[in-house]
Amino acid sequence: MDLKILLVLLLFISLTACSKKENFQGSLSTPSRTEQASRINTELGAGYLRRGNYELALQKLQKAIAYDPKNVQALSTLAILYEQINKTDSARQFHKLAIEADPEDASAQNNFGAFLCKIGEYKESEKHFMQAAVNPFYQTPELALVNAGRCAAKVPDYPSAERHLREALKFAPDNSEALFLLASIKYDMQEFMSARGFLQRYEAVAAPSRSSLVLGYRIETELNNLEQVEIYARKLESLYPGSTAILRDQTIF
């Protein structure tokens, strides 16, 4: 999955799912008018961001933070906006403000980890992914673990990547990203039978993609299974005409 798409997906999750323990005191009291205004502006800003209207998104998110400077979702969303418009320093600043506002907010930790991975700070990103993943109130720890695995693979640190991805599968056995990444890593490690196994699990839960078909072609080539090689080649050409040249490229994803 493209990292920009992933970031927006994580943003959506952070605004619609509980990412930390419930604030029982807050649940028993009515939010103040400023808190309500901040939340409404955050939701509006996130909506504009998803539609690519950065100017209006910026206005709404700045207003949300003016109402409530500790609004973690507003801070984290603004950080993602700055990522989208390539203002790296501002993105880092607001990611930090988000986790300073609430270090226990797993979505904010995960988003900051994704940002750090994107700019090549792999080891530092792992700390934030893991802080999100071990949060017992985080509803989707597999997201942070898959991110950690993907980031470790870029180093490359395949043992760490495999460990994180296998852990993700404990929470979500059918997570297609984790399965595809494990298949890719095992291929790179020349463990072709294991790569085939993970790819077959991926194919059982996800529609074929250009990358998965190319990977299948290469795995079966290494295993000298010429019949399956031909099947993958035909599928690739059928679903993605003109893609045969990809088979000569060593880059899978």
Residues 189 and 245 in one domain: yes
* DSSP-H helix ranges across the chain: 3-16, 24-27, 33-50, 54-67, 72-84, 88-101, 106-118, 122-133, 141-154, 158-171, 176-188, 192-205, 210-222, 226-239
Give the C-alpha separation, 34 to 67, whole Å: 5
pLDDT at residue 17 above 70?
no
pLDDT at residue 245 above 80?
no
Residues 34 and 154 in one domain: yes
Residue 224 or 249, more confident: 224
Give the C-alpha separation, 141 to 168, whole Å: 7
* Continuous segment of H or E residues that includes residue 53: none
Residues 6+ apart with CB under 8 A from 72: 98, 101, 102, 105, 108
**Three-class SS of residue 196?**
helix
**Residue 83 banded pLDDT, cuts 50, 70, 90:** very high
Q: For position 11, what pLDDT does the model report?
A: 53
Residues 143 and 229 in one domain: no
Residues 168 and 190 in one domain: no
Q: For position 16, what pLDDT does the model report?
A: 43
Residues 90 and 142 in one domain: yes
Q: Which of 26-35, 58-67, 238-247 has the lowest mean pLDDT?
A: 26-35
pLDDT at residue 81 above 70?
yes
Of 123, 143, 172, which one is at a domain's C-terminal end?
A: 172
pLDDT at residue 1 above 80?
no
Residues 102 and 155 in one domain: yes
Residues 31 and 147 in one domain: yes
Residues 110 and 228 in one domain: no
pLDDT at residue 147 above 50?
yes
Give the C-alpha separation, 192 to 65, whole Å: 51
Q: What is the CATH number of the domain that holds 66?
A: 1.25.40.10
Please state the pTM of the whole predicted model: 0.82
Number of domains in the chain: 2
Give the C-alpha separation, 92 to 89, whole Å: 5
Residues 157 and 218 in one domain: no
Residues 28 and 103 in one domain: yes
**Average of per-residue pLDDT across 175-180:** 98
Residues 253 and 218 in one domain: yes
**Average of per-residue pLDDT across 223-237:** 95
Structural domain range at position 158:
1-172
- Write down the mean pLDDT value for the chain: 89
At 189, list the tokens.
Answer: 């490690």
Q: For position 248, what pLDDT does the model report?
A: 62
Q: Is the peptide bond before 156 cis (omega within 30 degrees of 0)?
A: yes
Give the C-alpha separation, 152 to 65, whole Å: 33
pLDDT at residue 13 above 70?
no
pLDDT digits (tens, 9 = 90+) for 23-57: 444 444 567 899 999 999 999 999 999 999 999 99
Residues 6+ apart with CB under 8 A from 17: 107, 139, 140
Of 155, 172, 189, which one is at a domain's C-terminal end?
A: 172
Q: What is the CATH number of the domain that holds 227?
A: 1.25.40
Of 102, 137, 172, which one is at a domain's C-terminal end?
A: 172
Residues 168 and 245 in one domain: no
Q: For position 247, what pLDDT does the model report?
A: 73
